[in-house]
Amino acid sequence: MPGTTSLADHALAFDRWLRRDALPLWAGAGFGPPEAGFQEALGPAATAALLPRRLRVQARQTWVFAQAGVMGWDGPWRERARAGLAVLETRYRRADGAYRTLVAADGAVLDEGDSLYDQAFVLLALAAVTAAGLADRAAAAADLLAGPLIRLGHPAGGYRETAGATPFQSNPLMHLLEAALAWEDLAPGAPWTDLADSLAELALARLFDGRRLGEYFDAQWRAAPGPAGRLFEPGHQFEWAWLLERWGLSRGRPDARATAAALYRAGGEGLDPERGVVVGAMASGGLPQVVEARLWPQTERLKAGLLLAARADAQRQDYLADARAACAAISRYLDTPVPGLWRERQAPGGAFPDEPAPATSLYHLVCAFRALQASAPAA
């Protein structure tokens, strides 16, 4: 996308790419057969990768096409979102109300596990189809929260990723907070407001160390021992910044908004200035641990920067400059022979390996592009 320098230009280019290229491609080659739902990935020639189908892909893609309807896309968003919902409820939903992790394309169950991360994305998908007017799944979402997720709750607050799992992880809590805020937009009050408050308070009190928010914790939500406890992912700092800024605005909590700004700065520690991209993981001492740069952290940098720029404070122009830089980085990932695909990861030297585009990244792209579309006119 050469020549796109302003946020408004990027917004137009990304919106055109999404509506004209990505959504039609993933609604076509990225879907099917209908009873199996969405494909896991598309190869460089847009051929489906024959892989088992994870719950998180079905939930995220259902969310994507419900969002496409809200955005006014004139493609088959209803058919795809409804089909995704049907697959979630027929192939993945267990008798106890939780949703299983992995199913083969022919319907064979490959993993009966029910991770918190995956359940959070089911909740997000249920909120999206409800918001789009496709189906009312408020009762189903409340049942999932009050039933299967109860056993993952922990006396010290928050939730385990799976029953009995250690160390504890912050990433699933982040996506559960995202789902809670999505449901709160539709149904303010209990249980969603209470859930969002409990997760945000835990993040502020226990997960955030005054500078960063870690990935792995012990059962008391202290940093896990060893290297795992010193690891942080820049992309997750941006995601938490976006969520805590939203929560802090809605609750009138300056402390949450101050933490959001700190987390945004922590995410910036992962920026490789030579490539202009955010790397995968850092150690608390500031050294990169994973130097490849996946697509999704670039989208989270954009989304968080745009929201913080809405503060109109002394840092506004810095946030806007970061957002433009993130757009430029994302553009390089979208420069593929088949429009509508993307490069998933950039190697340390700047090259992009020739590999399939995973469906999971479309969720990140739609999140960021919707934020850009909403904010670009005011930027």
Q: What is the pLDDT of residue 318?
A: 96
- Answer whether residue 154 is part of any domain: yes
Residue 377 has a pLDDT of 62
Q: Residues 6 or more apart from 139 whose CB is under 8 A from it?
A: none
CA 63 to chain centre: 11
pLDDT digits (tens, 9 = 90+) for 228-260: 999 999 999 999 999 999 999 999 999 999 999
Would you say 344 and 336 are in contact if contact means Cβ atoms under 8 Å apart? no
Domains in the chain, number? 1
Q: Is residue 282, in this structure, part of any structural domain at all?
A: yes
The C-alpha atoms of residue 307 and residue 322 are separated, in whole angstroms, by 12
Whether residue 4 has pLDDT greater than 90: no
For residue 12, the enclosing domain spans 7-378
Please write the tens of the pLDDT for every residue from 107-130: 999 999 999 999 999 999 999 999
Spell out the alpha helix ranges (H) of 209-353: 234-251, 254-268, 295-309, 316-333
Q: What is the pLDDT of residues 8-46, one digit of tens each?
A: 999 999 999 999 999 999 999 999 999 999 999 999 999
CB count in 10 Å sphere of residue 49: 14
Q: Quick check: is 2 in a domain? A: no
Q: d(Cα 14, Cα 373) in Å, to the nearest integer?
A: 9
1 is a domain residue: no
pLDDT of residue 2: 41
Q: What is the largest CA-CA distance in the chain?
A: 56
Which CATH number covers residue 362? 1.50.10.10
- The pTM assigned to this predicted structure is 0.96
Percentages helix, strand, coil for the chain, rounded to the nearest 5? 55, 10, 35
188 assigned to some structural domain: yes
> pLDDT tens, 263-309?
999 999 999 999 999 999 999 888 889 899 999 999 999 999 999 99
Asked if pLDDT for residue 378 goes beyond 70, the answer is no
**Does the pLDDT value for residue 163 go beyond 90?**
no
